[in-house]
A and B are shown apart, each in its own frame.
Chain A
Amino acid sequence: MGAYETQGFKLDNSGKRVVVDPVTRIEGHMRVEVNLDSNNVIRNAVSTGTMWRGLEVILKGRDPRDAWAFTERICGVCTGTHALTSVRAVEDALNIQIPENANSIRNIMQLTLQAHDHLVHFYHLHALDWVDVVSALKADPKKTSELAQSISSWPLSSPGYFRDVQNRLKKFVESGQLGPFMNGYWGNPAYKLPPEANLMAVTHYLEALDFQKEIVKIHTIYGGKNPHPNWLVGGVPCAINVHDTGAVGAINMERLNLVSYIIDRTIDFIDNVYIPDLLAIAGFYKDWTHGGGLSSKSVMSYGDIPDKANDYSASNLMLPRGAIINGDLTKVHEVDLRDPSQIQEFVDHSWFKYREAGKGLHPWDGETEAHYELGKNAKGTSTNIEQIDEGGKYSWIKAPRWKGHAMEVGPLSRYIIGYVQKKPEFKEPVDMVLSKLGLPLTALFSTLGRTAARGLEASWAAHKMRYFQDKLMANLKAGDLATANIEKWDPSTWPKETKGVGFTEAPRGALGHWVRIKDGRIDNYQCVVPTTWNGSPRDSKGQIGAFEASLMNTPVALADQPLEILRTLHSFDPCLACSTHVMAPDGQEMTRVRVR
């Protein structure tokens, strides 16, 4: 490949190659390779989705009313968002209007996911990129307490409390059985927190682990379980009965109170633990401005959280919608998921092939045929890859493009678009964070910006849960108890042939499902998911995806410890099972591995 320039990045794969496989603390499986120059700065990045399951073909010929359950299993981390996207796609195809209560409950469930997922991501998947657990052993519990009390009114903050946690940690480390903390990059110079901040963060790592299981109980109440709650084409499956005999068998006053209580606690935890921690940690990494990648160039959001039921126009969506390209912050472009010329997927560097090579296909006309082969300059063998050849096919992820542009999606994209559109709910928190940290707007386009936007969005989501729970209660008070519209439940009421599209803003970004229904069965089903956008490999023009772009020009402190690489990749919250679910139509040309 040699050296070339794309999207403002100079790629050069001549330096020392470093391979990270598996990338851990993500959902699913992924590999990344980078080239370092003589100063240990990343000059080329190659990200490979290393798993693939094929759900779309499995969906062919099935009952569209069942599709939510299949697609929900695309991902157990962002559980529910695929199911919601799926029921919206089927409702769009069949022109089904859902009741207001169903819209409120669905929004509460989607926002519950946002709040939960962002919290777990920050503490359990991302924090250890910034927080040195071993350093926490050196902290002074009294000073830790002072630090905690200076940034938050959260009551669990006494010196004794931090001392207890530190003792537990100390004895754990001394046991020599380090469990998930084994072989971490402890002591790496890229860690910048003082011991007290480390102890506070580790303490909250444990508290957040305890608390996250409470948030999801909202899914359990409305959807029966979590992960993987239940959904319904036409509404929600949980009936409401607040007045009459049998109320104990439905959503009743006690259940509604429980939801309300959990919402209050979620707001409390996010606003008094997550956000203060985020700001405190960010304060020590202000100088680490890397990882911006495509965020200052091309970002996109489909929008989500319809205020009123059944209206998916931008003005009714509480999360912003639109696209920014080429770094032009003065213009937010309209995004149309139905327009065949806007969203297209390419497979030149993906382990698939199209009937017509080099072409981009809109998801309604999507095709996917598996074609696993390594580029001719790859090192190793087909079942023992030592080095990927990015000049050939190198990922199980397709390359989606919006009007030909590689796009970044996710909380940062949503906040950038909301900021540019001057929506106070998004602009004001961003300005607050920047002014607290004393940073310019450009600081937003970075790894830290991505991590900060996710935290702000968790808080936004928690407060919006309150809004929709109140809205639900008001509607019940007005006498409307409906939760499902069954007019078109029976397939005999459906048109012979139809197609639809559904979308959500998943925790990780813009998510779309495109469905074609024929004779009451799924004829074609295609998903383009957030990590397909962010984890995209190169396209035919050599344009790189968001993961690859974000690693460019980042200095690495120790070449054999990929801490900075993990830090930036984790800031996207990669979800590989999501991105690589696509599949060949007939499962052809498959070689078997011998099993003994």
Chain B
Amino acid sequence: MVETFYEVMRRQGITRRSFLKYCSLTAASLGLGPAFVPKIAHAMETKPRTPVLWLHGLECTCCSESFIRSGHPLAKDAVLSMISLDYDDTIMTAAGHQAEAILEEVMTRYKGNYILAVEGNPPLNQEGMSCIIGGKPFIEQLKHVAKDCKAIISWGSCASWGCVQAAKPNPTQATPVHKVIHDKPIIKVPGCPPIAEVMTGVITYMLTFDRLPELDRQGRPKMFYGQRIHDKCYRRPHFDAGQFAEAWDDEGSRKGYCLYKMGCKGPTTYNACSTVRWNGGVSFPIQSGHGCIGCSEDGFWDKGSFYDRVTDIQQFGVESNADRVGGAALGVVGAAVAAHAAVSAIKQSRSKQSDVNDKQG
């Protein structure tokens, strides 16, 4: 017996009114208009809860921790009402062979219809045994469960890119999911960790529209990873005005000036931090005074110090997306941001002297 999402919500004491409110919140958080609300409601009324098998490889569990921080929907509602989280070693009750049995059961009963979520990644050195599950290399479990899944979500930078254990010299040969699984759709949700509401937003989108989100060339959902942090940063006006923090706790820091000169990686990082923000919208790294370290970007650990000024990027307009920039600019350099910063600084000094007519930067 497979129940619809709506039935489950109703049976769990959620009123139709709250259900519709939930649908409109979902629409809003996905950037969709009110016209989509009935569509979402209809979808949820006619769909069963999708089983999710959440595997853990080499990781630090920050993705799971982030997931349970979700405020809309609440992690509680996501787990009890939206999906059926049938395997996740971090929170599941069963252990040992009782846990392993669940995998087989779900894989058989829901063949081709379950989602595989991967946190962390498989190591390939040490015979794969630097990550052992049930006495065997994690890579075996990953491939086994991937075989009959509908799609894979690569949670976080470990599963998406490799992250910290894959930083040079990558001693365990930690390898992202897409390099070992080639025959399944993979949605990368990078970040160390990803934002909670981005995680639940991606899942909700898939359940609601019954399709994968549109992905950029690197496999990330465009809706959340389509723009750079710098593009939507609330400190951007200070960048444009040439107002920068120059040292920790200086006048500029206290005034909330741009952190570009402190090494902020916002200009090269595609993520939703400056718009969705963190932990229910309370803040994000730049708002709390530290530059972005670029944690959702491939290989961000090996791009120099977090305090080195970004110089190897080209300045694009706000309308540029990752595909265009990625295609054109990687390695092109140009120090265009630095140049822009310099121009801004000149602008500022000029405008201080007198009101010079310089509408164009």
Residues of A within 8 A of B51 (CB): 177
| Any A CB within 8 A of the CB of B19 | no
Binds A, one of B160-168, B206-214, B219-227, B318-326: B160-168
A220 contacts B282, C-beta separation under 8 Å: yes
A224 touches B290 (CB 8 A): yes
* Contacting residue for A124 out of B12, B84, B91, B138, CB 8 A: B91
Do A66 and B306 have beta carbons less than 8 Å apart? Answer: yes
Contact: A566 with B279, CB < 8 Å?
no
What is the CA–CA distance of A519 and B321 in the complex, to the nearest angstrom? 40
When the two chains form their complex, are residues B86 and A372 in contact, meaning their CB atoms are under 8 A apart? no
**Inter-chain contact B255/A179, CB cutoff 8 Å:** no
Residues B96 and A486 in contact, CB atoms below 8 Å apart: no
Given contacts A73-B163, A213-B71, A246-B254, contact A372 B60 (CB under 8 A): no
Q: Once the chains are docked, how many angstroms separate the CA of A488 from the CA of B91?
A: 44
Main SS of the interface on chain A?
Answer: loop
Asked if A372 contacts B248 (CB within 8 A), the reply is no
A372/B63 contact (C-beta < 8 A), A22-B99, A183-B94, A212-B68 known: no
* Bound: A586/B128 CA distance, A: 18
Contact between A27 and B301 (Cβ–Cβ < 8 Å)? Answer: no
Contact B288 A220 (CB under 8 A): yes
Q: Is A328 an interface residue (CB 8 A)?
A: no
Distance of A271 Cα from B44 Cα, bound (Å): 39
- State whether the Cβ of A76 lies closer than 8 Å to any Cβ in chain B: yes
Interface range on chain A (Cβ under 8 Å from partner): 35 or more
CB-CB under 8 A from A180, the residues of chain B are 79, 85-86, 88, 91-93
| Residues in B neighbouring A591, C-beta threshold 8 A | 125-127
Given A28-B61, A76-B60: A182 in contact with B130 (beta carbons within 8 A)? no
Asked if B188 is at the interface (CB within 8 A of a chain A CB), the reply is no
When chains A and B are docked, how far (Å) is the Cα of A484 from the Cα of B252? 14
Contact A168 B13 (CB under 8 A): yes
Number of residues in B with C-beta < 8 Å to the partner?
A: 108
Which A residue sits closest to B257, measured CB to CB?
A249
- B301's nearest neighbour on chain A, judged by CB, is A70
| CB of A309 within 8 Å of the partner chain | no
Whether B174 sits at the interface, judged by CB under 8 Å, is yes
Would A27 and B61 count as touching, CB distance under 8 A? yes
Cβ < 8 Å to B, chain A residues 544-596 = 561-562, 566, 577, 583-584, 586-587, 590-593, 595
A467 at interface by CB-CB < 8 Å: no
Of chain A, the residue at the smallest CB distance from B126 is: A372
The digit string for B109-125, where 1 denotes a CB below 8 A from any CB of A, is 00000000000000111
Q: Does B284 contact A (CB under 8 A)?
A: yes
Q: Which of B3, B89, B254, B305 contacts A66 (CB 8 A)?
A: B305
Please state if A53 and B128 are interface contacts (CB–CB under 8 Å). Answer: no
Report how many A-B pairs have Cβ atoms within 8 Å: 370
Shortest CB-to-CB span from B276 to chain A, Å, is 11
- Residue pair B90, A24 in contact (C-beta under 8 Å): yes
A29–B138 Cα gap in the complex (Å)?
Answer: 10
Q: B341 in the interface, Cβ–Cβ < 8 Å?
A: no
Contacts of B140 in A (CB 8 A): 383
How far is A226 from B71 in the complex, measured between Cα atoms in Å? 13
CB nearest to A588 among chain B residues: B171
Report if A341 contacts B (CB, 8 A).
Answer: no
In angstroms, how far is the closest chain A Cβ from the Cβ of B336?
A: 25
A499 to chain B, nearest CB (A): 21
User: Is B49's beta carbon under 8 Å from chain A?
Assistant: yes
Q: Are B164 and A171 in contact (CB under 8 A)?
A: no
In the complex, A178 Cα to B3 Cα: how many Å? 13
Task: Give the contacting residue for B253; candidates A19, A179, A250; CB below 8 A.
Answer: A250
Contact with A along B236-273 (1 / 0, CB 8 A): 00000000000111000111110000000000000001
Does B101 reach chain A (CB closer than 8 Å)?
Answer: yes
Q: What is the chain B residue whose CB lies nearest that of A370? A: B126
CB neighbours (8 Å) of A466 from chain B are none
Tell me if A453 counts as interface (CB < 8 A to partner B).
Answer: no
The CA of A184 and the CA of B126, in the complex, are separated in Å by 33
Do A172 and B254 touch (CB < 8 A)? no
Please, could you name 25 A-B residue pairs with CB atoms under 8 Å apart, sorted by A?
A: A21-B134, A22-B99, A51-B130, A55-B165, A62-B305, A65-B306, A70-B164, A70-B301, A168-B13, A177-B3, A181-B93, A183-B94, A213-B70, A220-B282, A224-B289, A225-B285, A234-B248, A235-B249, A250-B289, A385-B135, A561-B98, A562-B96, A590-B126, A595-B124, A595-B139
Of A234, A251, A384, chain B has the most CB atoms within 10 Å of the CB of A384
User: Which residues of B275-291 have CB atoms within 8 Å of chain A's CB atoms?
Assistant: 278-280, 282-290
Flag if A73 contacts B285 (CB, 8 Å): no
Contact residue among B65, B71, B94, B139 (Cβ-Cβ distance under 8 Å from A227): B65
Selected contact of B99 from candidates A24, A75, A483, CB within 8 Å: A24
Asked whether B27 is an interface residue with its Cβ less than 8 Å from the other chain, the reply is no
- Taking CB atoms and an 8 Å cut-off, the chain B residues in 177-199 that contact chain A are 179-180, 192-193, 196
Are B92 and A25 in touch, CB under 8 angstroms?
yes
Report if B154 contacts A (CB, 8 A). no
A590 to B124, CA, bound (A): 9
Q: Decide if A176 is an interface residue (CB 8 Å cutoff).
A: yes
Binary B-proximity of A191-225 (CB < 8 A = 1, otherwise 0) = 00000000000000010011011001101111111
Question: Is the C-beta of A489 less than 8 angstroms from some C-beta in chain B?
Answer: yes
- Shortest beta-carbon distance, A163 to chain B, in Å? 10
Chain A residue contacts of B75, Cβ below 8 A = 209, 213
Decide: A226 and B61 in contact? CB cutoff 8 A.
no
Q: Do B3 and A372 touch across chains, with their CB atoms under 8 A apart?
A: no
On chain B, the residues within 8 Å of A219 by CB distance are 279
B94 contacts A230, CB within 8 Å? Answer: no
Least CB distance, A111 to chain B, in whole angstroms: 17
Q: What distance in Å separates the Cβ of B152 from its nearest Cβ neighbour in chain A?
A: 16
Among A54, A182, A258, the residue within 8 A (CB) of B165 is A54
Chain B interface (Cβ < 8 Å from any Cβ of A): 1, 3, 8, 11-13, 49, 51, 56, 58-66, 68-71, 74-76, 79-80, 83-86, 88-96, 98-102, 123-140, 163-165, 167-175, 179-180, 192-193, 196, 235, 247-249, 253-257, 273, 278-280, 282-290, 293, 295, 301, 305-307
Which residues of B are found within 8 Å of A249, using beta-carbon distances?
235, 254-257, 287
B130 to chain A: closest residue by CB: A52
Asked if A370 and B171 sit within 8 Å, CB to CB, the answer is yes
Which residue of B49, B93, B127, B288 contacts A182 across the interface (Cβ within 8 Å)?
Answer: B93
Decide if A248 is an interface residue (CB 8 Å cutoff). Answer: yes
Pick the 5 closest A-B CB pairs, nearest first.
A249-B256, A76-B62, A246-B255, A224-B285, A184-B93
> Taking the nearest CB of chain A, how far is it from the CB of B113, in angstroms?
13
Q: Are A230 and B285 in contact, CB atoms less than 8 angstroms apart? A: yes
**Cα distance, A237 to B257, chains bound together (Å):** 13
Contact present for B124 and A53 (CB under 8 Å): no
Indicate the member of A70, A240, A590 with the most B CB atoms within 10 Å: A590
Query: Is A326 interfacial (CB 8 A cutoff)?
Result: no
Knowing A55-B165, A232-B248, the reply to whether A213 touches B307 (Cβ < 8 A) is no
Cβ-defined contact, B173 with A592, below 8 A: yes
* Contact of A223 with B288 in the complex, beta carbons under 8 Å: yes
Write out the residue numbers on chain A whose beta carbons fall within 8 Å of the beta carbon of B290: 223-224, 230, 232, 237-238
The reply on A434 being an interface residue by CB < 8 A is no
Q: Which of B93, B123, B127 counts the most chain A CB atoms within 10 A? A: B93
Closest B residue by C-beta to A168: B12
Report yes or no: A225 in contact with B307, Cβ–Cβ below 8 A. Answer: no
Closest chain A residue to B119 by CB distance? A76
Given contacts A28-B61, A124-B91, A593-B124, 16 further A-B contacts (CB under 8 A): A21-B134, A21-B135, A23-B95, A50-B131, A73-B164, A76-B59, A77-B61, A180-B91, A230-B285, A238-B289, A244-B254, A246-B255, A370-B130, A383-B127, A383-B137, A591-B125
Contacts of A40 in B (CB 8 A): none
CB-CB under 8 A from A128, the residues of chain B are: 93
The answer to whether A177 and B84 have CB atoms under 8 Å apart is yes
- In the assembled complex, which residues on chain B have CB atoms less than 8 Å from the CB atom of A23? 95-96
- Known contacts A50-B131, A54-B172, A168-B13, A183 near B102 by CB under 8 Å: yes
Contact A55 B164 (CB under 8 A): yes
Q: Interface digits, A297-327 against B, CB 8 Å rule (1 contact, 0 not)?
A: 0000000000000000000000000000000
Assembled-state Cα–Cα distance A586/B137 (Å): 22
